């Protein structure tokens, strides 16, 4: 009888010249069950991936190839590390070939097609596949993911905010759901590897600013999930900021405790909720999580603060935006979809300093 350990999963990657791409390659190259089979890039056809990303020298021998040449339909799973709009165009063909899909872009994050089209300014190509797809935040949606053929890997900001709020929603009313604030901060790698002036070293270094305050694409994604968990229309103020660091994300979430919940032991609530989650670390009450404590690891660390023991609860959540916020979570989804232990290939210790 084959155990999980001997299973071979043929993996394809569409895109892969960006930061989620190289991070997928780094993780999968060290994954005991993954067999890197194909990676596509129309522009870089023929280039060894290790020539573009020298950290992979000696670990990955694969070269980019055009989609036409890449044997994607022969894979067991294909990751899309592309801009939005690509996965939905190839989903049908791949599903027909019995290939599972994990999209790291937004095509399968929003179940409401109208909301998708409003925010992404493009018609959805396969609403039927969207309808059967699963939202890939494992800790919140494990059952659906395990049997899904298509997974929409969550955005980086949503991962922190949803994991930070989940224990507070869906049970007895604990917080004022009409007025939740997430003041979120991300490292620059979240903007991707596109050549844009705003992401230049000399623009982003030694600088700090908010952005996307008037409207960020992760807002509807977060709200849709919060609404569903809370069973009501949640009021969310979400302000992302850009931090002069490569990796890392911290959300400072402000909620107001309802009068009837003032006596609740929120620390116990969080610890219980995540007791069996290998990738969620509820730190001691009053801790101050640092982004570097999860650098290059698939871990989210959460700490609670309640200044003056008042009715403001502050939830601090950190992750590596490229790992738990992107590529690591995608591999966690793969593990789940293929019946492997969820932590397979994802147990590396974070890099500090």
Cite the active site residues. Answer: 156
Footprint of a second copy on 106-145 (CB under 8 A) = none
**Distance between CA atoms of residues 234 and 161, nearest Å:** 13
Measured in degrees and rounded to the nearest 5, phi and psi for residue 34 equal: -90, 140
Footprint of a second copy on 234-263 (CB under 8 A) = 237, 239, 241, 243-248, 250, 252, 254, 256
**Distance between CA atoms of residues 22 and 53, nearest Å:** 7
**Distance between CA atoms of residues 204 and 234, nearest Å:** 33
Helix (H) or strand (E) holding 183: strand 180-187
Q: Site map for a second copy, 308-327, x if CB under 8 A?
A: ----x-x-x-x---------
Q: Closer to a second copy at the Cβ: 19 or 108?
A: 19
Among 202, 259, 276, 339, binds a second copy (CB under 8 A): 202
The two structure tokens encoding residue 188: 């620059």
**Distance between CA atoms of residues 304 and 312, nearest Å:** 11
Among 187, 220, 328, 345, binds a second copy (CB under 8 A): 187
* Binding of a second copy by 214 (CB under 8 A): yes
**In whole angstroms, how close is the CB of 268 to a second copy at the nearest point?**
19
Among 84, 109, 185, 218, binds a second copy (CB under 8 A): 185
* DSSP 3-state of 178: coil
* DSSP 3-state of 228: helix
* Binding of a second copy by 275 (CB under 8 A): no
**In whole angstroms, how close is the CB of 178 to a second copy at the nearest point?**
11
* DSSP 3-state of 36: strand
Q: Site map for a second copy, 330-349, x if CB under 8 A?
A: -----------------xxx
Cβ within 8 Å of residue 7, ≥6 positions away? 33, 338, 339, 340
* Binding of a second copy by 16 (CB under 8 A): no
């Amino acid at each position: 009888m084959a155990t999980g350990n001997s299973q071979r999963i043929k993996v394809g990657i569409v895109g892969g010249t960006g930061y989620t791409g190289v991070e997928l390659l780094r993780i999968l190259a060290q994954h005991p069950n993954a067999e890197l089979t194909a990676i596509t890039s129309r522009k870089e056809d023929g280039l060894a991936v290790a020539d573009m990303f020298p950290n992979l020298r000696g670990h990955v021998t694969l070269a980019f190839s055009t989609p036409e040449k890449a044997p994607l339909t022969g894979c067991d799973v294909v990751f899309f590390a592309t801009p939005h709009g690509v996965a939905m165009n190839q989903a049908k063909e791949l599903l027909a070939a019995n290939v599972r899909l994990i999209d790291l872009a937004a095509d399968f994050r929003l179940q409401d097609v109208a909301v998708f089209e409003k925010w992404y300014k493009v018609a959805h190509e396969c609403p039927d596949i969207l309808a059967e797809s699963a939202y890939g935040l494992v800790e919140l949606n494990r059952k659906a993911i395990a049997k899904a053929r298509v997974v929409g890997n969550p955005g980086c900001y949503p991962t922190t905010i949803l994991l930070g709020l989940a224990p507070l929603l869906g049970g007895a009313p604990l917080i004022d759901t009409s007025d939740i604030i997430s003041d979120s901060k991300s490292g620059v790698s979240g903007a991707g590897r596109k050549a844009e002036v705003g992401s230049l070293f000399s623009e982003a270094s030694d600088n700090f600013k908010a952005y996307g305050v008037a409207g960020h694409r992760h807002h509807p994604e977060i709200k849709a999930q919060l609404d569903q968990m809370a069973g009501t229309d949640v009021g969310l103020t979400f302000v992302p900021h850009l931090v002069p660091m490569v990796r890392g994300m911290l959300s400072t979430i402000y909620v107001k405790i309802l009068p009837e919940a003032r006596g609740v032991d929120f620390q116990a609530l969080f610890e219980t909720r995540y007791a069996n989650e290998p990738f969620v670390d509820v730190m001691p009450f009053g801790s101050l999580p640092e982004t570097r404590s999860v650098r290059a690891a698939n871990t989210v660390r959460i700490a609670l603060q309640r200044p003056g023991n008042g009715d403001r609860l502050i939830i601090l959540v950190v992750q590596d935006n490229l790992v738990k916020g992107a590529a690591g979570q995608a591999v966690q989804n793969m593990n789940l979809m293929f019946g492997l232990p969820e932590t397979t290939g994802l147990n590396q210790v974070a890099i500090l300093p």
